[in-house]
Structure 1
C-alpha cells in the first residue's frame, strides 16, 4: 500500500464518520497527528496508521464453549436463520456479521476481512503467522464474513467464535480471540447450563475469565449461562446455577454480570407452571439486560475511541514508545562500550608496545607515526580505519543482541513495531550517544502532549451530547 492509498483510506473513513458519528471526526484528526509522530519514530510503517487499529463502529463478540448456544442467540437477535446451530461444533471459524442490503445473506471468505482496513481483522494473517508459521496463508480456514439484511446489526458488528474446545488450531485461535477481546465494546461469554462443571469449562475459564478479570475494561464482559431451562428438571434448580458460579469464582471472578437465559422456542415445556413462570421472568429480565447492553455500545464506542486516543498518545511517549526506545538505546550504548573495551583495549596496548619498542633496534613505530612521512600517514590512517571498523562491527553486533530482546509488534500496545523503531536509530551515521531515538524531538513531544491535553475537551463535548452536566 502506498501513501495515496492511505490518503484514500483516511478520506473514506472521514466520509463514513460524517454520516454515522460526526463526534468522532475530532478524534480521527488527532489520531492522524499521532500517525506523524509514530512514523517519525519508526513505530509505524509509512503506509500504516493508528486509524487502522481502531474499530470505528461498535463490536459485540460472543465467545464460549461450542454447545453454549451462541449461534442460536445470534439468530434470535437478528430475526433470521443466519448461523448454523447444533449440539456439536458446527462451525470452526470466526464469523464477522455485518449489515448488507441484499435480501439473501451472503458469505465471503476470510481474505475479505484480512485485506479491508474497515474491519477489525485487517492484516490478521500476519498475527497468525507470528505464532503459527505459514498459517496466515490459510486465513479462510479461520475467518469468514457474513452480511445480512437485519436492522438489528446496522451500524455495528457481531463476532461469533468457534467453541474453545472445538478447535484444533489452538494457538492461532487464541491469538484471534485476544484480538477480538481488545477490539470489542461488549463481550458475551456463553456457558452451557447442561454442562456447567469446571471440566468442560476449563479452557474458557482460563482464557476468558482468569485472563480478563484484571483488565481495565473488565466491565465489558457479561457471563451468560444459556439453556438454563435444563435446570427445571433438577430437584433444586439453584444447585446448577451455584455450580456455575462456583466455577467462575474458582477462576477468580467474584463480581460481575451473571445472566441466565434460554431459547423459548427450543426449550422443552416446564410442567410446573409456577417454576415455568419464574424461569421465564428471569429469562426475560436477563435478555432485556443483554439487549440494553448491546444498544449502549454505540455510545460506549464513542467514549472508547477517545480513551484509545489517550492510550495511543501515552504509549508513544511512555512504555511501548519513546520511553522504552530510550532504555533500549541506553542498553545498546552500554553493551557497545563494553564490547569496545574487551576487544579494543588489548589491541591498543599491543599497538602501543610496538610503537615504543622497535624489535630491531631501529626507529620505533611511534617515531614513524609522527615523522610526517608517507609511511607515517599510512600507519595513522590504517590504525584509525581498523579501530573504526572494529567499533562499527561491535556496535552492530550489540544492536542485533538488543533487537532480539524486543518483543514483536503483535505483543506491543497498538501493535507498534518497536524493533523497526530501534533499528531506525542504529545506522552508522546516527550517533548512539544521543539519548532520544530518531524522531522524538521537541515538535513530536509537543504534538503528543497536545493530544493528551485535548482529551478532556473531547470528553466534555461527548457529555454535552449525551448528558446535561450543567443541569
Structure 2
C-alpha cells in the first residue's frame, strides 16, 4: 500500500473509532517527508507502518475454556460459536464496523487494512505454508458493530488441543503474543489436575513462558462455578498455580471468572462468594483491556517525538560520515586530475599537435567522469559497510548516490530549517498528548457517572 493511500485509509477508520488521532496522521506525513528528504526513510515507506494503530488483544486457550463465550459477552453480540468441540481451526481477527451485520472476510483482507499489524505475520505464515491461499488457511476477519470493540482488535485463537495443524498454530501464536498489547490465556477450571491439563501446558503455556513482556499476559481460570461446589475455590486456584509454576510460569496475573447467566449454584452463600470474586477479577480484566487503548494512543503520539529525536541524534553522525566521504572523494578527484594534467603536459611537450592534445583532453575528461563515479560508488559502499546503525546507514547510502553533489552533502545534516521543523513536530506532539489527557479524563468521568 502506497503511503498516501495508507494516510487516507487510516484517517477514514480513525474518524469512526478514535477521532483524536486523525490529526496525528498529518504529523506523521510531515515527519515522513523530512525523513525521506534526508534518506532515513525509503520513498515507498511510512513511519505509520512501523506501529500498530489499534491495540491488539489476543484471547488464547483450549476448546471449552470459555474464551469465545467471554468474547461474545464482552462484545454484547454472539459472533463466535461456542461449544465443547472444535468449531473453528483459524485465528479470528475481530474489529469494528459501521455495518449492522457481522461480516466474515478471508485472511487476505487483513493485509490491505492499515489498522492491522499483520504484515509480519503474513511472512510468518509464508514460512509455514508457502501457498497463495496460506493466509486464508490460518486467519479470518470478522467485523462487528459494537462500541466495546471501537479502536481495538481482538483475536480469538483456535483451540490448542486439536492435533490438526497444532505445530503451525503454535508458530503463529508465538508471533501473535509478540505483537499483542494484552494476552488473555483461558483455562477450563473443570480440569485442574495436572494429568488432564498436560496437553494445554505443553502446547500453550510453553509459548508464553519466559516472554520478555510477561506482565501483558493474564491467566484466566474460567467456569469456576462448575467445580467449586465444595467451597474450595482457593484450593482449585492453588492447584492451577502450582501446575503453572512447575512449567516455569512465575509471572503474570491469575484470575478466576465464570458466566453468571449460565451458572447453577444452589448454595446462596457460596454463590455470593463466587460472584464477588468473579466481579472483582472481571472488572480488573476489563480495565486492562480499556487501558491498552489508552496506552496505544499515547504510544502512537510519542512515536513522533521518538522518531524526530532519532533523526536529530543521527544528524551529527551523518554529517561526520558525509564530511569524511567528501574529503576522501575530493582527494581522489584531485589526485586523478593531477595525474591527467601531467599526462597532457607530457604529450604536449613531445610536440603533439593541438588536435591530438584537445582529443586527449576530451578523452581524459570522460575517463575522469567514469573514474569519479566508480570511486564514489566504491568509497560509499566501503564506508556504508562500517556503519552498524541501520537508520544512519540508509541515510548515508541515500546521500552518497551517484547523482548527489558530494561537495554539498554534509550541509544536509546541518540544515537549520530541517532541525527547526523536527523540533516543532516534537512540540506539537506534546499538544496532542494534552488532547489525549483531556479525552481520557472526560471518558473516565462519563464511566464514573454511569
- 1:317 correspondence with 2:324: no
Contact 2:304 2:426 in 1 (8 A): no
SS of equivalent to 1:147? strand
Rate the CA distance shift 1:379–1:144 in 2: closer, same or farther, 3 A. Answer: closer
- 1:144 correspondence with 2:137: no
What does 1:59-458 correspond to in 2, within 5 Å? 59-65=56-62, 68-87=65-84, 89-100=86-97, 104-117=101-114, 119-121=115-117, 123=119, 127-128=123-124, 134=130, 138-150=134-146, 152-153=148-149, 156-163=152-159, 166-179=166-179, 181=180, 184=181, 186-193=182-189, 194=191, 200-201=200-201, 204-205=204-205, 207-208=207-208, 210-213=210-213, 218=215, 221-229=217-225, 231-232=227-228, 237-246=233-242, 247=244, 251=248, 253-254=250-251, 257-264=253-260, 274-294=269-289, 296-297=290-291, 301-302=293-294, 304-318=296-310, 368=346, 371=349, 374=356, 388=372, 391-392=375-376, 394-395=378-379, 398=382, 401=385, 421=395, 423-430=397-404, 441-458=415-432
Shift of 1:260: 0.8
SS of equivalent to 1:282? helix
Rate the CA distance shift 1:370–1:68 in 2: closer, same or farther, 3 A. Answer: farther
Query: 2 CA distance for matches of 1:172 and 1:435?
Result: 45
Contact 1:369 1:377 in 2 (8 A): no
Rate the CA distance shift 1:64–1:394 in 2: closer, same or farther, 3 A. Answer: farther
2:434 match: 460
Query: 1 CA distance for matches of 2:232 and 2:343?
Result: 99
Query: 2 CA distance for matches of 1:30 and 1:259?
Result: 41
1:414 match: none
Rate the CA distance shift 1:150–1:316 in 2: closer, same or farther, 3 A. Answer: closer
Query: 2 CA distance for matches of 1:436 and 1:301?
Result: 42
Deviations 1:326-347 (A, max 9, x none): 8699889999999xxxxx9xxx
Rate the CA distance shift 1:378–1:291 in 2: closer, same or farther, 3 A. Answer: closer
Shift of 1:66: 5.4
Shift of 1:146: 1.4
SS of equivalent to 2:143? strand
User: How many residue pairs align between the two structures?
Assistant: 422
For structure 1, the 5+ residue unaligned runs are 339-343, 356-363, 408-416
For structure 2, the 5+ residue unaligned runs are 443-450
C-alpha RMSD of the superposition: 5.0
Shift of 1:427: 1.7
Rate the CA distance shift 1:245–1:39 in 2: closer, same or farther, 3 A. Answer: farther
State the TM-score, normalized to the length of structure 1.
0.67
Deviations 1:273-328 (A, max 9, x none): 6545433331233223333444x34xx6356323322234313432xx56569869
Contact 1:190 1:226 in 2 (8 A): yes
State the TM-score, normalized to the length of structure 2.
0.70
Rate the CA distance shift 1:189–1:421 in 2: closer, same or farther, 3 A. Answer: farther
